[in-house]
Structure 1
Amino acid sequence: MTTVTQMKCACPHCLCIVSLNDAIMVDGKPYCSEVCANGTCKENSGCGHAGCGCGSA
């Protein structure tokens, strides 16, 4: 049986893959950062992870 250890950030604007051990969990969904978890990545210039661009217009 395969164990899932990483998932895409649950933010619809984000491209990050997050380790479930390090994720910020909100309502059972994994997020890569506080700004993605609280839905403000667009207003806060993105999550800050290299190559993501979730804060881009």
Structure 2
Amino acid sequence: MEATVEMVKCACSDCVCVVGTVKAIERDGRLYCSDACADHHPEGAGCHHAGCECHG
């Protein structure tokens, strides 16, 4: 049996976002919802998705 994962939680520990594996941003083998999360929140930038207040 084979399982296909289509949605994952953003790899940013402070982020609550779930992102599609096709649209996710990959850095160092981890999947993120945005460039801000993938780049570890430079200058405190958040991902700006509704309901998420992550800033690294």
Same fold (TM over 0.5): yes
- Percent identical residues: 46
Q: How many residues align?
A: 54
User: Which secondary structure state, in structure 2, belongs to the residue aligned with residue 35 of structure 1?
Assistant: helix
Q: TM-score, normalised by structure 2?
A: 0.85
Q: Answer 1 or 2: which has greater helix percent.
A: 2
Structure 2 CA distance for aligned equivalents of residues 14 and 41 of structure 1: 15
Provide the alpha-carbon RMSD of the alignment. 1.5
Q: Is residue 23–residue 33 contact of structure 1 (8 Å, CA) maintained in 2?
A: yes
Aligned position for 2:39:
38
Unaligned runs of 5+ in 1: none
- Report runs of 4+ in structure 1 exceeding 3 Å deviation: none
Cα shift readout 1:6-44 (whole Å, capped 9, x = no counterpart): 100001110100100000001111000001000016711
Unaligned runs of 5+ in 2: none
Structure-2 change in CA distance of 1:43 and 1:12 (3 Å): same
User: Which secondary structure state, in structure 1, belongs to the residue aligned with residue 44 of structure 2?
Assistant: coil
